[in-house]
Amino acid sequence: MKEKWWKKSVIYQIYPKSFKDSNGDGIGDLNGIIEKIDYLADLGIDVIWLCPINVSPMMDNGYDIADYYNVDPVFGTNEDFERLIACAKERGIKILMDLVVNHCSNQHKWFQEAVKNPEGEYAGYFLIEETSGKEPNNIRCYNGTSAWERIGESNRFYFHSFSKEQPDLNWANPNVRQEIIRMMKFWQKKGIAGFRIDAIGNIKKTKEALAQTILPTDGTDGMVSVDKYVLMQDGIEAYLAELRDEVFERYDMFTVAEVSVPEGKMEEFVGEHGFFSTVFDFSYTDMDVEKSNGKEWKKRFTIREMREKIFASQNMIEKYGWGSPYLENHDQPRSVNKYIPEESIGYESKTALGALYFFLRGTPFIYQGQELGMENYPFSDISQIRDPFAVQRYEQSVKNGENPQKDMEYFRARGRDNSRTPMQWDESVYAGFSEEEPWIAVNPDYETINAKAERQNDKSVYHFYKKMIALRKQSEYSDVLTYGDFSPIESDEDALIGYYRSNGEKRVAVLVNFGEGEAAIPKQLANGKRILDNQDRWNTERLLPYQAVLIAEGE
Ligand code: NOJ
């Protein structure tokens, strides 16, 4: 197993709009992050993943880039970004940017040129089809509408996997790929350490996706999901190899891709000479979702299923490469609401959930506020929702005569805005995030859940995360907790999730009772040394409800 700087790292994801506002416009910014850099250094993280900061109309909060070379004024300037890189570096913290290159914004000058000039060079940067007046085919984009949008009054249509404001780029065009590579090198020179790569599985389209043919439908709307025609298509490998060879590998970057990779392709994607350092696995973070009629709905699951999914994910990634365990991100609701029944949400269950994923094999990610145990927002009305995808879905339901309250119910449990509410720094107005009204409402629980209160309380979610980070990085168990093999601990207890991390020298058991009742501790572990525990009471035979312990064997 090759040692790499990023294998020992803990990554902290920042959603810049919601982290810290330094200039009183109600929107977070780069200087806000600089103000809080010591908070991050003190927590002990090594790397920041910054969600997009480039110039953007912000239709999708930056995942619609209109200028790849400049920072959006709402976040600051390129100089502010350079200062952030420098002051993070002083504290040993590296920065990852979000690489959003499946699509750009319809405000990007390439797209504007393509619209103006159908014969010009930039028309070839996008996927544009001319028809006799109707959409080329019946593909449905992720927002539930057609993936094709008419250009003005013409009979030309362009393809978009996401919203119509996010036209897909034409990766088959070598000039597009060269532009992207040039841009990646520009940011690398500024000192970034790598990229989180957005929607990269979508870049290669099948012939059918772009053909003027009606495809077999998968819903009652006569349309068919874009997935089948644009996700992980053969030939994507050549594009990814180009990025790896020209940028990632050349500069020893860390890369984590947002892509679902089938087992047969894992080696090629994350193996020794893979395209990426690692990929995100959605299998257990999306286990509460089912799709019907082109929409996502909330689904129930059991702890047993959760354990199976996590173990399957670990076993698979261990065979081929390196993992990236995470519970939350800006597209997910707060994990404590997803995995813990409402009546049991509290310090014990939040820390048990933390321990459960944090010691899995891979580089762990923490999403801003997760270390405080932040919770979902009690959304009750569409006017509170800012996520454009949710608003579009709601409007579509109204238009189709469906009950939009069902969508609201889904947003409350699973909407992306749940994790996008402002970071809760203290109990002052707007949770210390801003002095002005924020772009999205602060969670009303901020007076009790905030960084100041968490830091003052020794027995808090924050301090438990801090301990987990220190144990992983700066203890005699660092090596085994980083590079050690993963193996499940078998048990008949329904709510017990346990696994070993072991190398030739040490074996550490991570045992989490993820249930409301007590759970028997596997006998072989009764006499080990407890190196982390989220509770004060200890009994060598049984774990208390939501007790999480790490036990080093034979010590
Ligand atoms: C995935 C990103 O995480 C999400 O926030 C975004 O809306 C889509 N890709 C489109 O870029």
CA 77, 13, 99, 419 torsion-angle sign: negative
Q: Which atom of ligand 1 is nearest to the CA of 60?
A: 7
**What are the boundaries of each domain within the chain?**
5-102+174-205+219-464, 485-552
Any idea which architecture 485-552 has in CATH? Sandwich (2.60)
485-552 matches 5-102+174-205+219-464 in CATH topology = no
| pLDDT of 349 over the 70 cut | yes
Average pLDDT over residues 141-153: 94
Residues 6+ positions from 395 with CB-CB distance below 8 Å = none
Report which of residues 132 and 2 the model is more confident about.
132
Average pLDDT over residues 222-247: 97
- Between strands 507-513 and 496-502, the pairing is antiparallel
- The mean of the pLDDT values for the chain is 97
| pLDDT of 554 over the 90 cut | no
Q: Is 407 a catalytic residue?
A: no
Q: Is 318 a catalytic residue?
A: no
Look at residue 395 in the predicted model and tell me its pLDDT.
93
CA-nearest residue, atom 4 of ligand 1: 331
| For helices 174-190 and 78-90, angle between their N-to-C axes, nearest 10 degrees | 50
Identify which of 438, 417, 418, 419 has the alpha carbon closest to the alpha carbon of residue 429: 438
Among 21, 60, 168, 198, which one carries the catalytic annotation? 198
- Between strands 139-140 and 148-150, the pairing is unpaired
Mind listing the pLDDT tens digit for each residue in 389-410?
999 999 989 998 999 999 999 9
Look at residue 555 in the predicted model and tell me its pLDDT.
64
Out of 79-83, 290-294, 364-368, pick the least confident: 290-294
C-alpha span between 145 and 495 (Å, rounded):
41
Among 72, 258, 348, 493, which one carries the catalytic annotation? 258
Average pLDDT over residues 202-209: 97
Give the CA distances from residue 212 to residues 129, 132, 154, 224, in Å, rounded to whole numbers and listed in that order: 9, 10, 16, 14
Look at residue 232 in the predicted model and tell me its pLDDT.
97
Fold topology of 5-102+174-205+219-464: TIM Barrel (3.20.20)
CA-nearest residue, atom 5 of ligand 1: 331
Pocket test for ligand 1, best of 60, 227, 328 (most atoms within 8 A of CB): 60
Conformational region of residue 385, where left means phi above 0, alpha means psi within -120 to 50, and beta covers everything else: beta
